Structure 1
Amino acid sequence: MDRTETQKIMDVIEALGRIEDDAQCAVAATELLDNWPKLHGRLRELRQQRVQAMKHDGMTWAEIGTALGGISAARAQQIGAGHRGVKRPGAERDGAME
């Protein structure tokens, strides 16, 4: 799997930590966090569209789950239907949700 595009995003986030000026770093992090809900929603939509396309192309839910990193067929089907996952422990603390 080519992770070049996702690695670029990770690299940008890591680069924020290398900003020497504390105020500039905090402002940059705040800007990213302020935009995160919109970006998160777009990523979910993109993933759902691509899962639906894989299903349309004839893949089974189990095959799609495997392609998505080994998730269950049931979870792959939920993603295709646009259902959100349940909150994981600590999600409220760090803002992580499926």
Structure 2
Amino acid sequence: IHALKAVAYIKKKLVIISSHVHWVVCSLGQHRLVPNVEEVLNEADARLDAVRQKIGHISEELGEEDLYQFHKAFMSGIQEYVEAVSFHHFIRHRTSAS
């Protein structure tokens, strides 16, 4: 039951963050609602660094365990992270990440 509550909480946070990202993207496109685009991108850098640290914690927790046994538990989060990093790179540099 605890795991189900944790998943529900994470899903709720993802919806909130997705809505916020959508608003920021619209704002960056218009440059009217966000007076300092660089400040917003720097804040995103800090959040992405925090996610990188969490990914490191997953790696430490699993240690020598069979990765395939647990991949369903964290793979969707890794995919979200890759999408966020790619999008952030595109907004900052106007090129796709390679």
What TM-score do you get using the length of structure 1 for normalisation? 0.50
Identity across aligned pairs (percent)? 8
What TM-score do you get using the length of structure 2 for normalisation? 0.50
Deviations 1:30-77 (A, max 9, x none): 432122222211111012213422x15x8521122232237xxxxxxx
Q: 1:66 aligns with which of 66, 69, 72?
A: 72
Q: How many residue pairs get matched?
A: 73
User: Structure 2 stretches of 5 or more lacking a match?
Assistant: 1-6, 77-85
| Structure with more helix by fraction | 2
Large movers: runs of 4+ above 6 Å: none
Q: Which has the higher contact order (CA 8 A, sep 6+)?
A: 2
* CA RMSD between the two structures: 3.4
SS at structure 1 position matched to 2:75: coil
**What CA distance in whole angstroms lies between the structure 2 residues aligned with 1:28 and 1:12?**
16
Matching residue of 1:26: 34
Aligned-residue offset at 1:23: 4.3
User: Structure 1 stretches of 5 or more lacking a match?
Assistant: 71-87
Q: Which amino acid aligns with 2:48?
A: H
Query: Is the alpha carbon distance of 1:40 and 1:10 closer, same or farther for their aligned partners in structure 2, counting shifts above 3 Å?
Result: same
